[in-house]
Amino acid sequence: MIVAMLGILKAGGAYVPLDSNYPQERLAFIAKDADLRVILTQERFKEQLSQLGAENICLDVDWPVIGLEDESNLLLEARADSLAYIIYTSGSTGRPKGVEVEHRQVVNYVNGILEVLQLPAGSSFATVSPLTADLGNTMVFPCLLYTSPSPRDLSTSR
């Protein structure tokens, strides 16, 4: 999932996390509302997701085809106001609502959370929330972007 998220962002796209446990009607609504064109998935979910009208690429079995793609970096530049992802609410009003999250919001969140936590070197991260929930989603980025303090920084803080 993390590889898929990063690949989508690197390609200049925005991702929409889907949960295979969602009812088919909810998945269909999200796919249509977000205008999904490609779904990165696994073979075991392909049949369920193939009904959503988007191309399915199975990251667990389609590597021979994926490997034929050009490996050079795309000439795309994400801006602060570029969309990073859309997270859908629980639908407590009867209909899920897509909340659009821009790159600037992710960066501000990561900077803020890492500043507040003041994590020591060698820290580990865990998440208990699924990536289809905002908390699970936002915890991925601090984990990926955290850099341990240098040994010099640690010696001055003791």
**What pLDDT is attached to residue 84?**
94
Please say if the pLDDT value at position 66 is more than 50.
yes
5-35, pLDDT tens digit by residue? 988 998 889 999 999 889 999 999 999 999 9
State the Cα–Cα distance between residues 56 and 33, nearest whole angstrom: 17
* Confidence class for position 157, pLDDT limits 50, 70, 90: very low
The reported pLDDT for the residue numbered 117 is: 82
Q: Are 13 and 6 a contacting pair, CB within 8 Å?
A: no
pLDDT the model gives residue 81: 95
Q: Exposed, middle or buried by CB within 10 Å (0-12, 13-18, 19+), for 47?
A: exposed
pLDDT confidence of residue 153: 46
What is the value of pTM for the model shown?
A: 0.82
